[in-house]
Amino acid sequence: MDLGLRDRVILVTGGGAGIGEAVTRACLAEGATVVVISRRSQNVQNFLAEMAATNAACDFFEADLEDPEACRAAVESVAARHRRIDGLVNNAGANDGIGLEGGDPGRFLTSLKRNLVHYYAMAHYALPLLKESRGSIVNISSKVALTGQGGTSAYAAAKGAQLALTREWAAELLPFGIRVNSVLPAEVMTPLYRRWLDSTDDPETTLRHITDRIPLGRRMTEGAEIAAMTVFLLSSAKSGHTTAQHMVVDGGYTHLDRSLT
């Protein structure tokens, strides 16, 4: 299916690892140019080396997204190099386990900077070029925004706020034809998820305990499945009348009766 993304410029925060990497690959497969904005971890380094070796249309801007000025600089760099922005995928973040008990207000605020504030900053600075292109924003949220999890107040607050911002921005940006949607993963095997599994006493038993509770197929969702929904929502050719939606891609994990498992 041609999603009409050829030669479009898409920004993906955290686009060099995990779900973000899958989104980057999906955009590239549709002929888009992708600008990955993130820190330079080993996973990102390996991904960028692969992109360079294949001459992929993938740029990289190293940024600490917790700093709004770094977000501004990233967008300014894209504007100078590409002269356009057609899509923004806000994705970077991590479940850092800042709970009500065992956390504190200072760590809570730090987590919001890590997981939420850059969503606003990136959209704010990209907005002039998104207006020109009548582009699209996709916010990657989490099922935690809908279900809660326990022990992760700051992450839950950030993910819930991302859903609220999705609909707030969809309303505010209607006059400019800018569509705003969100995608909510649940259980996806990313490097961060693998690291958490490996920290448990019995990673494989823990994994089976999780997958046994995912109704559709008793398996983890693949990053490529999150990415497929994301690129569809970026496409004005195929989802041009879709805005303010929260798309849950999780094999029924969030919404189906647990008796089904």
Q: What is the pLDDT of residues 35-47, one digit of tens each?
A: 999 999 999 999 9
Angle at 139 between CA 145 and CA 83, to 5 degrees: 165
Domain ranges in the chain are 9-186+222-249, 189-220
Q: What is the pLDDT of residues 132-160, one digit of tens each?
A: 999 999 999 999 999 999 999 999 999 99
pLDDT band at 6 (very low <50, low <70, confident <90, very high): very high
Q: Is a pLDDT exceeding 90 seen at residue 196?
A: no
Q: Is a pLDDT exceeding 90 seen at residue 1?
A: no
From the list 86, 183, 165, the residue with the least C-alpha distance to 133 is: 86
Q: What is the pLDDT of residues 80-123, one digit of tens each?
A: 999 999 999 999 999 989 999 988 999 999 999 999 999 999 99
pLDDT band at 222 (very low <50, low <70, confident <90, very high): very high
Orientation angle between helical segments 18-29 and 223-234, nearest 10 degrees: 50
**Rounded Cα gap, residues 216 and 39, in angstroms:** 34
What CATH homologous superfamily does 9-186+222-249 map to? NAD(P)-binding Rossmann-like Domain (3.40.50.720)
Q: What is the pTM of this model?
A: 0.95
Positions marked active-site: 155
pLDDT of residue 155: 97
In this prediction, what percent of the chain has a pLDDT beyond 70? Answer: 100
